[in-house]
């Protein structure tokens, strides 16, 4: 089993690359954003618990997010690998994720950062906003704040995995095809034999 964290700021191309990886390797793609939306829409006990925090304007605690991840991983025991998208966002979450995978006799094999500068992110998201209808995709100051939040609060996770020898940096300003080739090269070097 090959487990990958796809990492990068909003608009870096994680969704595009995750789709390509799912098609090529038949990996399970776990997007925490999608996971939250599904649990909330189905009004599951975990969704209800998450909603109680969100409705009060608080972040959903790590233990609730990890419980959702655990549930999703347990629902797919026979996958060839998992792409984690949007998680972990902090060092404690990274440690929790490692513990979760070790409890399933597995591990995180790599973190791949799609490295994209702020101006490119702004250009991409403004372009996406023209068709998505999302209000937060149409305001440059909001986009730059989201980028800065990633740099300031989330990027230390890269260092966490770099210290484990598992972090890789890919130029996310390349074409989607070029980025995909770079990712394939990393997976090819890292994937356990027989997969």
- Please classify residue 83 by burial: count the beta carbons closer than 10 Å to its beta carbon, then call 0-12 exposed, 13-18 middle and 19+ buried: buried
Q: Is 86 annotated as a binding residue?
A: yes
Low-confidence ranges of the chain (pLDDT < 70): 57, 190, 192-195
Residues with Cβ within 8 Å of 152's Cβ and at least 6 positions away in sequence, in order, are none
Q: How many domains does the chain have?
A: 1
Give the CATH number, domain containing residue 181. 3.40.50.300
Residue 42 is a catalytic residue? no
Domain that holds residue 29: 2-190
How far is residue 100's CA from residue 73's CA, in Å, rounded to a whole number? 9
Q: Is 69 annotated as a binding residue?
A: no
Exactly one of 24, 71, 134, 181 is catalytic; which is it?
134
In a domain, 195, yes or no: no
Q: Is 144 annotated as a binding residue?
A: no
Q: Is 93 annotated as a binding residue?
A: yes
Per the CB < 8 A criterion, the answer to whether 2 and 109 are in contact is yes
* CA 23 vs CA 8, 48, 97, 118, 187: distances in Å: 21, 32, 24, 29, 14
Residues with Cβ within 8 Å of 181's Cβ and at least 6 positions away in sequence, in order, are none
Mean pLDDT, rounded, of the chain:
90
- Running DSSP on this structure, what letter comes out for residue 88? -
Amino acid 194: pLDDT: 55
Per the CB < 8 A criterion, the answer to whether 6 and 14 are in contact is yes
Residues facing 115 on adjacent strands: 171
Exactly one of 128, 139, 144, 169 is catalytic; which is it?
128
Amino acid 193: pLDDT: 58
- Running DSSP on this structure, what letter comes out for residue 77? T
**Model pTM?**
0.88
pLDDT in tens, 69-101: 999 999 998 899 999 998 998 889 999 999 999
Residue 134 is a catalytic residue? yes
How far is residue 1's CA from residue 109's CA, in Å, rounded to a whole number? 9
Q: Is 14 annotated as a binding residue?
A: yes
Q: Is 51 annotated as a binding residue?
A: no
How far is residue 145's CA from residue 106's CA, in Å, rounded to a whole number? 36
Residue 14 is a catalytic residue? yes
In a domain, 34, yes or no: yes
Amino acid 195: pLDDT: 55
Per the CB < 8 A criterion, the answer to whether 81 and 27 are in contact is yes
In a domain, 73, yes or no: yes
């Amino acid at each position: 089993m090959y487990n990958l964290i796809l990492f990068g700021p909003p608009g870096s191309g994680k969704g595009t690359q995750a789709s390509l990886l799912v098609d090529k390797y038949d990996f399970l793609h776990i997007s925490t954003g999608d996971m939250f939306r599904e649990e909330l829409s189905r009004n599951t006990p975990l969704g209800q618990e998450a909603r109680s925090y969100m409705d009060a304007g608080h972040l959903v605690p790590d233990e609730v997010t990890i419980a959702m991840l655990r549930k999703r991983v347990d629902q797919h025991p026979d996958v060839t690998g998992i792409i984690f998208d949007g998680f972990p966002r902090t060092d404690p979450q990274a440690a929790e994720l490692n513990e979760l995978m070790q409890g399933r006799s597995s591990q995180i094999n790599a973190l791949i950062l799609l490295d994209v500068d702020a101006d490119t992110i702004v250009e991409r998201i403004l372009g996406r906003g023209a068709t998505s209808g999302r209000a937060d995709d149409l305001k440059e100051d909001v986009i730059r704040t989201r980028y800065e939040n990633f740099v300031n609060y989330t990027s230390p996770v890269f260092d966490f995995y770099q210290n484990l020898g598992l972090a890789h940096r890919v130029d996310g300003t390349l074409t989607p095809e070029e980025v995909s080739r770079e990712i394939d090269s990393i997976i090819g070097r890292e994937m356990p034999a027989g997969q």
